[in-house]
Structures are given as structure tokens and as C-alpha cells.
């Protein structure tokens, strides 16, 4: 949903409301439910951190990401930790961002998810900044190349700030 332009924000909001209702009524097992909740929350929080227009609301994004269960499967935990990390980084809380990034790198690695690990390494690189963040960024880019994931490759090609 966050890939959709801001000109369709009302449509996206309606889809997210429908998804919330469906999740509340679903009979999915706990692990699947946690992953679906993590996806829904990420869709709601991402545009708060990176709005296409208007002012970001990093505190609101942080609060949303905190709602993702901490005892869920690795995918949900990675989404939580990455979201918290990016929100903290944008709030100027670099040490907390590094902590969340390291947790995400570890969980993604333990679960065998290379894509999530690359995304977590990218967060770690951004939180550490140029110099110290160069090695995690190289590792993230290497994973993206190995996966032949052009979206990640483009994302990791942007300079660290």
C-alpha cells in the first residue's frame, strides 16, 4: 500500500481498515496472525516515517511498530525491529536504532531470510553512519546482488548520510 501514490491515500486507508476487520475475524494460527499484523502495521507506519507530502510523524510510527508482538515468528520480529530502528534513527536516537538493527540482523539470520537480513544490515549501516556503516552496507548489497533483487540493489546504492 505504501508504494501507492499519496493521491490514493483514502483508498489505501480503506483497504487497511478492511484488513484490520478481516484480521480480527480470521481464524489464522498465532504465527500467521502475527505476520499479518506486522505487514498491516508496516503499511500504516511506513508513510508516517516517509510521507510523500506533509510532515513526518516518527513518534506515531514508533508507537505503531511497538504494537507488533515481540514473541511472534522471525518475520514479525524483523518487521518490528526494522520499523523501530528506522523510527528511532529519524528521531535522532542513534543508539536505540543500532540496537534494533542488530536485533533484526540476528533474527533474520537465525531464520534464514536473506532479504530481511539485507534490509536489517542496511538499517544498521544507516544507524552507524559513513565509515563504520560501510561494511554492513557492503554485506547488504552483496546479498541483494546474490538474490538478484533490483529493488534492494537500488535502495542500497544510495549514499549513507
Torsion of CA 33, 35, 40, 41, to 10 degrees: 110
Asked whether the CA dihedral 132, 89, 75, 13 is positive or negative, the reply is negative
Lowest mean pLDDT among 1-10, 22-31, 125-134: 1-10
pLDDT of 16-51, one tens digit each? 556 555 655 665 678 888 999 999 999 999 999 999
pLDDT at position 150 over 70: yes
Evaluate if residue 137 carries a pLDDT over 90.
yes
Q: Does the pLDDT of residue 140 top 50, yes or no?
A: yes
Report the alpha-carbon angle 78-30-72, nearest 5: 25
Q: Which of 24, 63, 16, 21 is nearest to 40 (CA)?
A: 16
Q: Which positions ≥6 away from 55 have C-beta within 8 Å?
A: none
Say what the pLDDT of residue 11 is. Answer: 58
133 or 8, greater pLDDT: 133
Q: How far apart are the first and last CA of the chain?
A: 27
Instruction: Say if residues 76 and 38 touch (Cβ distance below 8 Å).
Output: yes
Question: CA 9, CA 68: separation in Å to the nearest integer?
Answer: 23
Whole-angstrom Cα distance, residue 86 to residue 39? 16
Residue 56 sits at φ, ψ, to 5 deg, of: -70, 155
pLDDT tens digits for 54-88? Answer: 999 999 999 999 999 999 999 999 999 999 999 99
Whether the CB-CB separation of 73 and 110 falls below 8 Å is answered with: no
Q: Which residues contact 50 (CB under 8 A, 6 or more apart)?
A: 2, 56
Amino acid at each position: 500500500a505504501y508504494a501507492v501514490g499519496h493521491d490514493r491515500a483514502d483508498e489505501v486507508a480503506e483497504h487497511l481498515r478492511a484488513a484490520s476487520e478481516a484480521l480480527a475475524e480470521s481464524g489464522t494460527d498465532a504465527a500467521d496472525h502475527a505476520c499479518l499484523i506486522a505487514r498491516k502495521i508496516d503499511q500504516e507506519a511506513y508513510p508516517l516515517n516517509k510521507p510523500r507530502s506533509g510532515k513526518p510523524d516518527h513518534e506515531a510510527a514508533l508507537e505503531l511498530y511497538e504494537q507488533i508482538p515481540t514473541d511472534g515468528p522471525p518475520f514479525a520480529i524483523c518487521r518490528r525491529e526494522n520499523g523501530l530502528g528506522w523510527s528511532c534513527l529519524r528521531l535522532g536516537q542513534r543508539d536505540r536504532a543500532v540496537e534494533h538493527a542488530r536485533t533484526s540482523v540476528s533474527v533474520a539470520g537465525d531464520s534464514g531470510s536473506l532479504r530481511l537480513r539485507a534490509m536489517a544490515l542496511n538499517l544498521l549501516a544507516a544507524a552507524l553512519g559513513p565509515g563504520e556503516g560501510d561494511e554492513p552496507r557492503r554485506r547488504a548489497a552483496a546479498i541483494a546482488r546474490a538474490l538478484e533483487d533490483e529493488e534492494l540493489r537500488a535502495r542500497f546504492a544510495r549514499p549513507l548520510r
